Structure 1
Amino acid sequence: MIRALFSKLMQTLLVLVGVSIAAFFFLKLAPGDPVALMLGAEYSPAAYAKLTRELGLDLPWPQQYLHWLAGFVRGEWGTAYISHADIFQQAVYEALPITLTLSALSLAVALLLGVPAGVLAALRRGGALDLFVSSLSVLGSAIPSFYLGIVLVWVFGVNLGWFPAMGFVRPWEDFASGMHHLALPVITLGTYYAGLIAITTRSSLIDVMGNPFIDAVRARGEPMWRVIWVHAMRNVLMPLTTVIGLQLGGLLRGAVMTEVVFAIPGLGMLITTAVLNREYGVVQAGVMLTALFFVLVNLLVDQTYQWLDPRLRRR
């Protein structure tokens, strides 16, 4: 087990190194000159050369990459060109908690809606309820999050005025106002994943309910709620965990568009703004944080398998 964990950690490290190389060199190929953006419309060649030298942009690309990677590992991510803010402070302490809060609440909503809906559909297989839940799940998974967000803003934010159309209040500073501002973004992001979770729960539970051990449990006279939520759902957790783990990366990807639509100052908005302003350091930090979160989630999912299925602990 320890050897397998060490192997996974090494794979995670290699993935992060690969992402860092791609994030650094692909941005170098993007059009735009950060030095010219910093200096403004008018500047002298001497000022341009001096600033290029101070930023280390006159060095060869491999040397720039190694210098940036060493600083990134130490937490020295540099300063943003436009805002002159510390990138580490801006990304880790300000933007990342907002994105993680949005993603966590969206996942909670998706689970609270998707799991019961999938169970009801499986128990009423072939009936009107099953058809309704399945159709709604497919519809929710098919609608792009940015389009759903725009519709929700127009209906509930602009026309009805029930929720703020955009903006963000930190829930840890003002819980009521923060949840009020997050209601529409959470519904927007959680709806898509609720559909996927409902479909997975339905199909997995139908397979499990057909196994002989379920007939044996029912023959012992156990109540139906215990048969489903204790015995059957224990076997549904494996495929459900796989779907959740694979989709958590997509949850962050969807958070980018959701944050842009609702003007939420999270990691997605930070990266989008940085791309438009050619803030290479900010984009690299955002991409690395996203990749780090994604690989850590997958590592956690792998370890969760061993907790859910004791047979895997001996491998």
Structure 2
Amino acid sequence: MLNQIDLARVDLNLLTLFEVVLAEGHVGRAAQRMHLTPSAVSHGLGRLRRLLNDPLFLRTPKGVVPTARAMELAEPIAQVLAGARSIVSSAEAFDAGSSTRRFTIGAPDGVSAVLLPPLLARVRAAAPGIALSVRQLLPEPGDAAVERAWRGAYAELEARTMDIAILPAASSPARFHAQVLYEEDFVLALRKGHALAKAPTLDRYCEAEHLVVSQTGDGHGFVDQLLAGQGRSRRVALTVPNFLFALSVIAETDLVSALPRRFVALHGARHGVTVVEPPLPLGKFQLRAVAPHAAMMDAGLDWLFALLAQSRPAPAKTPTRPPARVRK
């Protein structure tokens, strides 16, 4: 059985030292920023090297550069410090107008691209000192059940390395507070002038070449399951890792993709991408802001939830094709 490390014997201030030296790339500048002497910073780095069993930073004529191990540790250490700062700041009375807190929000990029513009406008108006970090969330590959597909996001919420997750989930585990932000469905996105737009029948849709948004490169998605239920199939010619990249590719090719309606309504026009209604029902889903019930005692988090609710998008207006003329 592995021995647990006694954190009482570890100076956690060394993690802050690591963060500052990594950011500055120079012992002297790190010392100035932390109001220490260069000797004290060097001494702290020596303790940290012994603790982590790695040189961590190598001296160069212009400063220091991180080792490969230091780069591996950068993100976990940043998450630990972010969680600690969140805990400390939540113990203070929260005043949005004067707060300088940083909140971390996780969401699929097709969701954050819809919510972020109105949310940022409200944050700037009500709380100019507050900062946001937005992270892309992706489901676990191969898991259809919502709780398992997003288990990584739920784990990060409970670890307090992320404040709020916005998930396409009809429900969440009982230990989480959830608030519906908006309902979404899918449309077909294609370049302007695409032949499919004139007659988007199911046959022509299946004959087209398709683009699927997939971080893992797996071309089989929920649309394929729906088509298989009707004895149909399609050819996925390309997968890309995010929705914004999908728009730029669609604009320059004859590829067709099923994308979230509000996302395309907001960002499609600037890419020269238009939409048509799909020839088969692609279903609807709810986007919910989620956080642990225990975390909701934080007045700052409660404030951010309220601001997200105010940032709900209006119902998307999708252009419709004029009815076909009937020859007499």
Provide the TM-score with structure 2 as the length reference: 0.25
Higher relative contact order (CA 8 A, sep 6+): 1
More strand by share: 2
Provide the TM-score with structure 1 as the length reference: 0.26
